[in-house]
Each structure stands twice: as structure tokens, then as C-alpha cells.
Structure 1
């Protein structure tokens, strides 16, 4: 199982200089991937812009939107260009994680309807593929730069509803779970994999999950404050995400063991604090845990 780390781009008040410093430290520590999560109505950095900053100061570590709420990006041609730009700037290290989103305020402020967002996400993937590959109907209307692969970066889709799991199994290379813990991940991963087989997809899909963490003095308080604030409108999920967060060395090791048992391919530790020591503290615990 690969061990990855989120950037603190959604921790309110994170200084801009922390992002490149965190990215360099994470690469030096040997984490597999740097990731971002997505909100509009929150004190957070925009995911693709943040990954571009991380790309500029790293050379090897993977980059992933985990996830980007693509239906909020109504101009799909612009989104296509932004994604390809980060892919090229990073030397083709980008994985595109997408989901439909659920917070009404994000859609309201964006002037985008909440209803029908699943269908719009699927249409966006078709349009992005067309813009990258080109077709005979619209000569000269492709966008540049070209991504590393003709059909763009690998796509991972999130969501726990039956429709979301089926969508990921039909059209993505993998599925990513939120921070609800190993048991919820296991249920979703099994349902996703079953649908993958039902759709006749070859090979093995990728199964990933987020897990929130904070380490050091006052770790539990820091995690609770951040998670309850970030998920203030998410009802019972806020409590679930907090209870599943790792706030000690034993907690981190326990999550790694439980996610490995649930056949997770990549576990992404998402920080609840932007203090740079969170990278080194996590690295000391997870050293040697990444398995090809």
C-alpha cells in the first residue's frame, strides 16, 4: 500500500510559503503522492493552482486532486487546459481525482445548479477527452498543451452512493473514499470492485482513501477543531471523520494496518494542521510503509 500526504491547502490561514516548503519536505520524506481537496466557500486554496506550485519545487512525487469538484468548473475547455498545464508543468505526474460535490453553498456561489451534477461530470470527461484527442467534427478546436497521455492523466472518481460507485467502475481507473475510516472504505471498495467486474473492465482498479491526521501537542483538539469546521454542514459525517482521524503514532499505525487489511492501494493522510513538523512527524511513523 502506498502512503501519501495531503497539502495543507484547506487548513484556514495557511501561509502561501508553506505550500512549497511542505511539498519539498514530503518529496524528501518519500511519500508517494501530494494531494489537494476542494471547497469554494471556505478559506482554502484552489486545488490545481496549489498543485502547480507544488510541481515547481518537486521532481518525483506524484500529484493528485483528491478530489476536485468538477461540476463547479462549468467551462470545461478551460478546465481541460488547466489540467493539461499542471500535467505538463509537473512532467506528467498528475492524477485527476474528481467528484460531484454535495455542498449547496459551493454551487450557489458558482452559479451552477446542484441537480444533475453527476451527468455533468460524465459529460465533462467525454468533452475533455475530445478536446485532448480532437475529432473530425470540430477541427482546430482542441485545447493545448497536450497532456502526457493522449486521453489525459489517469482519472479517479469519488463518492459513496451506488450511482457514484457505478460511475467510477464504468469510466475511471479507480475509486477514492473520503475520511470515514477503514470499515466504510472496505464496504465501498468491495461494491466498486464488484461493479468493475460486472462492467467487464480488465485488470485491477485502484482503490484509495483519505484519512485525516494531526500529531504532537494538542493533536486531538487540533483535529477536532479543523474537521468540525470543514464539515460543519455535513451533519453526522463530521463526527465520523473526527472519530476516524489519527491523532497519535498508534493511531497512524492502526489506520495503516486496517486499510491494508481492507485492500487499500493508496492511503492519503490529510493534515488538520499546516505546521511543517506534521510532515516529518508522519514520515517518522510511516517510514518503510510504502510498498510497490
Structure 2
């Protein structure tokens, strides 16, 4: 089981230097990956910019968008250049996680029809592949350093088909271990149906908050971040706020077939990172 950690880039008010410090310390602790969330109409850093800052101060740890909402970025050649540039800057450490998204306001301010997000993502996946394979005059360079690992998010049939057609793996946004296993079964069924060899790399995101104010920090952040969803209170109850619960989650998700967990912080304090490392590494 690989254990990654999210950058606190989506925690409102997180200082830019905190992201760099967090990235350095995450690499020193031995986490597998630095993940980053994506929102547009919110007080967060752009995920590609945040990961570029992390790339500049690290050398080994993986970098991942977990996940990037691609359809509101409705200029595929520009996105292709940004992603490939980040991959090159990092020395080929990027895993590109993409999903259709579920925040209508992000699409509205971008001039993209929210109802068309799935079709737009399908088109962008084809276009990204073509752009990165193109050579000669008119090509949009650079290309990624190697074959860029792609993971897809979402729990719809379309999301599972995208994983099987384009991806190296699938990432869940958080669920119970049993719910995770049920969706992983659907991913693997789609994988086999499309004639893919081997098995997909299975990932999940889990929120955590530790220390004397753990529950308060989780509630403050998640109630705000998920205010749009109507599910914020239930999401708060899923946050892992005790070391024992974190360790139990690692075991449960490993038993459910998960290959990598990215623990997402509810606060930007570096004590959270250190407490997480003590609990699960």
C-alpha cells in the first residue's frame, strides 16, 4: 500500500511558503505522492501552479492532480502545454488525475455548459493524446517526459469506461471501504471488457485532521468546502481524526484492493503532516 498526502493548497488562507515547506517535509517523511484538489470558484491555489511549486523544492516524491476538473479548462492545447511543462519541470514525476467535476459555478464562470461536461471531457482526452503524439510544424510542445500516467475519477458508468479506455488507474473521492470495493469491481469489469492487460492502479482520497482540535478543524474546513453539495455534514463524519482510525482505514482499504491512499489535510499546519507520518508511515 502506497501512502500519499495532499498539499494544503485548497485550505483557504494557506501561505505560499507553507506549500513549499509541506512538500519538502512530505518528501523527507517518505510519502509516495503529493496530491492536490481542484476548484475554481473558491479560495484555493490553482493545482498545476501548486504542484509546480512543489516540484521546484523536491526531487523524488510523486506529484498528482487528485483530481483536475478538465472540462472547464476549455482550451485543450493550453492545458496540454501546462501539464507537459509541469511533468518536464518535475523530471517526469506527474500523475494526471482528471474528472468531469460537479461544481456548476466553476463551469458557469468559464463559459462551459455544465450539462456537457462528460462529452467535453471525452473530447479532451482524445485531443490530449493527439497533441502529445504530434510532431513537426504546428505541434504544441513540449510533450510529457514519458508516458504520462493518467487516472480518472468518478463513479458513473462513463467514468469507468474512461478509465478502461484512457487510464492507468482510477481514483475515488472518498467512501466506505465496502462502497470502494463495489466501485473498484466495476472499474475492473470495464478494464477487462476493453481488453486491457494487467490491472488498474486503484487510488482513493481520505480527509484527515489530527491533534487536540482535530474535529473542529475538520468541521470548519469541510463544512465550508462542501457547502454547495448538501452533504457537508455527512462528509465531516467521514474525516479521520484519530491515529487509530487512520491506521484502520489503511488496513480496510488495502483489504478492499486499494493500491494508494492520498490523505487530504483539513488544515495547513505542518504539525498535521508530522502527525500523519507518525500514524501511518
The bucket for the TM-score relative to the shorter chain is over 0.9
The reply on whether 1:233 has 2:243 as its aligned counterpart is no
Which 5+ residue runs of structure 2 have no aligned equivalent?
none
Is 1:176 matched with 2:171? yes
Distance 1:181 1:226, change over 3 A: farther
Q: Report how many aligned residue pairs link the two structures.
A: 281
Q: Which runs of 4+ in 1 moved over 4 A?
A: none
How many Å separate the matches in 1 of 2:196 and 2:218?
39
Q: Once the two structures are superposed, what CA deviation does each residue of 1:222-267 show, in whole Å capped at 9, x if it has no partner?
A: 111211111111123x233222211011111111111111010000
Mapping of residues 209-248 of structure 1, within 5 Å: 209-236=204-231, 238-248=232-242
Task: Give the match for residue 56 of structure 1.
Answer: 56
Q: Which residue of 1 aligns with 2:149?
A: 154
Residue in 2 that maps onto 1:106: 106
Aligned with 1:115: secondary structure? helix
Deviation, structure 1 residue 112: 1.1
Match of 2:39 in 1: 39
Change (3 A) 1:90 1:148: same
Q: Take 1:57 and 1:8, find their aligned partners in 2: how far apart are those partners?
A: 16
List per-residue Cα deviations over 1:167-220 (Å, max 9, x = no partner): 212221111000223232222111111111111111111110000000001101
User: Cα deviations across residues 14-57 of structure 1 (Å, max 9, x unaligned)?
Assistant: 01110000000000000000010100011100000100000000
Contact 1:70 1:100 in 2 (8 A): yes
- Three-state SS of the structure 2 residue aligned to 1:223 is helix
Name the CA distance, whole Å, in 2 between partners of 1:210 and 1:17: 24
1:264 to 243, 250, 258: 258
Gaps of 5+ in 1: 288-292
How many Å separate the matches in 2 of 1:107 and 1:216? 37
Q: TM-score, normalised by structure 2?
A: 0.97
Structure 1 counterpart SS, 2:39? coil
Give SS of 2:63's match.
strand
**RMSD value, Cα:** 1.2
The alignment partner of 1:268 has SS state of: strand
Match of 1:253 in 2: 247
> Residues 69-106 of structure 1, C-alpha deviation per residue, up to 9 Å, x if partnerless?
00011111000000000000000000000000111111
1:7-86 map, 5 Å: 7-86=7-86
Aligned equivalents of 1:78, 1:167: Cα separation in 2: 22
Q: Distance in 2 between matches of 1:227 and 1:165?
A: 27
